[in-house]
Amino acid sequence: MTTAPPTFRRVVGRYVSGRPLDGRTGYPYLTRGAGRWPGWKRQALRLGAPAATVLTVVEPHQSIGVASTAAAVAAWRGRKQLRRRRFDRAYVAPTLTAIRTPLGLETGVTLHVDPQLGNLTPRLAKPLSPAEQAVRLWYGQRIEPVLRYLPDRVQRLTWWMQEQAKPWTQKLEVFRRPGEQLGPRIELTVQTPYLTAEQRQLVSAIINSKVPVSDLVESWDQVGAQVTARWTVRKRPPAQVGYDRVLEHIDRLAEWEFYVGQGPGDRPVILSLRDDSPHIAVSAGSGAGKSVLAQLIAVQVLRRGGRVIILDRKGSHRWALGVDRVDYCTKPEQMHEALIRAAELANKRNDDALHEADDWDPGPRVLVICEELNATIGQLTNYWAEIREKSDPKRSPAVNALGEILFMGRSAKVNVLAIAQMLTARAIGGPEARENFGIRCLARYTVNAWKMLVPEAGMPRSSRTLGRWQIVVGGVATEVQVAYLNSRQAKALAKPAESPDSALSSDVTGNGNKMTLRQASDAGVIPWGYNAAKMRLHRTDKAAAPKPCGSDGKAFLYERADLERWASRTTSG
């Protein structure tokens, strides 16, 4: 069966519309497709060339202006095409060759690389000779100001009109459908339905080697008949995060969750001392903001009724002076006693937990901040060497206490935030103790510091932005701009949210007039111990028993007045 030749009408229609004259498909109007030009360019050439020829014959004087304009446009486009070809020869063509060979695909692989990415285009620039520099200087001083005068005025007028129309255009935004904002990117399309993990890893390595752009986000789409990979510029965290952002998140979180700042795409970053890790390791160079990060965690502990112990020889936490429920230890003897008391509290809570239900709440959270741990451990060791008797153990009890807290802090709600410029295993009491830090925060780090603390995570480039941290949890590093609080803001946030003026002891906490049964027993609101009070509560008639009014973790909260009324009735009866 033979195909009939196209009619004259069809050929004319294809010519005028910019489609291939032989009727081939795959040549769209707006994009290039399988052809060299998109359809609209072919249409403009087919219709414009005859019109220009006729104009030249009929109106010779007008044709001079048309020809000069066309020549200028052609020169501009030719210069642009030459730049693009040079760019493709340097980056796109070699990368395609490197990808096609191991995949075994001679065709069906396309690659798009935006020249705006990184410094790809400036890398291709060649040094100018003295003559070229002189010509460019003369052109920039004499010619370009004249050529740019009118376009600059038009652009300024356009900006002014857009500013004037903004009140109306903003109202029309509700009717605009959100589209995919691609921006500068590297995009690879492979005409195959699937690539294995090894092949994807190989392609990624080739892209990163042949196209020198750092800090890109990689995504793969293997749904459908082709595989598409895209590398886009990572949306960095904001340059500054302050008090307003902290206030926005701090009271929405659970008792064990802590807001630390904003991450990529301006998303909040939350750490969990229950799910992620009970202890936090902070390693950074001098002036990177280690004390700012520790302060942010501390004020959230205090705001929820907890207690903070600060071991700080150099006085980095002046905001904590005079703040309730803060033990500020600046002398070795103070640090020694504070660590031993914290370990005893953790041991007591762990012993009590053996006889309680799984959801038992041991009491208020205690946070131990160890500033400059390398020096602190040495001071504690020296102090113990001075005061110990011959019968005493050689190892400092305070150092032992710190190790005990690290191994049992989760269930006891006694957490350690260890700060050091170089958090070595010797500084923290051995590699086993250091493994208890599941949350590790690094800033202004060196290659040695990164490999020592988080070798399982790929090392990003260290940022010079003040307050910019890499927080690693489970081997995944997240770039975070840590929120900054001044002393006044920190003191304000350190007050409990519902009862700012209340001062609580290390073993008793409450939420305003609300407290758990254990807190009521420890505070003397009810005359029995916790276990006896719990048994009496189960035996009391439901009508006479105090009604829960909330929860603190998994423990019920009761109104203080209801507990006092229940205690008086039970005692008098």
Same domain for 451 and 522? no
Q: Select from 434, 292, 295 the least CA-distant residue to 367.
A: 295
Same domain for 338 and 440? yes
DSSP, residue by residue, 477-529: EEEEEE----HHHHHHHTS-SS-TT----SS---BTTEE-HHHHHHHTSSSS-
Q: Which domain covers residue 387, as residue numbers?
A: 277-355+363-465
Same domain for 446 and 553? no
For residue 340, tell me if it sits in a domain: yes
Total structural domains within the chain = 2
Contact, 308 vs 302, CB < 8 A?
yes
Last residue of a domain, one of 465, 500, 527: 465
For residue 505, tell me if it sits in a domain: no
For residue 529, tell me if it sits in a domain: yes
Last residue of a domain, one of 465, 497, 529: 465
CA distance 218 to 233: 9
Its pTM stands at 0.57
For residue 66, tell me if it sits in a domain: no
Q: Select from 217, 259, 253 the least CA-distant residue to 471.
A: 259
For residue 548, tell me if it sits in a domain: yes
Same domain for 335 and 415? yes
Same domain for 445 and 314? yes
Same domain for 392 and 536? no
Same domain for 408 and 351? yes
Question: Tokens 């040549």 — which residue?
Answer: 27
For residue 555, tell me if it sits in a domain: yes
CATH of the domain at 289: 3.40.50.300
Question: Tokens 């010079």 — which residue?
Answer: 464
Last residue of a domain, one of 427, 443, 465: 465
Same domain for 567 and 440? no
For residue 498, tell me if it sits in a domain: no
Same domain for 383 and 292? yes
Same domain for 562 and 424? no
Per-residue pLDDT of the chain (573 residues; tens, 9 = 90+): 444 456 777 788 888 887 888 777 767 777 766 677 787 888 888 887 787 676 666 666 665 666 666 676 777 777 778 888 888 888 999 999 999 988 888 888 999 998 888 778 877 877 888 898 888 888 888 888 888 888 888 888 988 998 888 888 888 877 777 655 667 889 999 999 999 999 999 999 999 888 887 767 889 999 999 999 999 877 788 888 888 889 888 888 988 999 999 988 788 999 999 888 889 999 887 778 889 999 999 999 999 999 999 998 888 898 988 888 999 998 999 999 999 999 999 888 888 888 888 778 888 999 999 988 878 888 898 999 998 888 888 888 998 888 888 887 677 889 999 988 777 666 666 666 677 788 999 998 888 888 888 888 877 877 878 889 999 998 888 889 999 988 888 988 988 866 434 333 333 334 557 888 877 776 667 777 777 788 788 777 777 788 888 777 667 888 888 887 887 776 555
Same domain for 524 and 387? no
Rounded (5°) CA angle 184-186-191 = 140
Same domain for 527 and 437? no
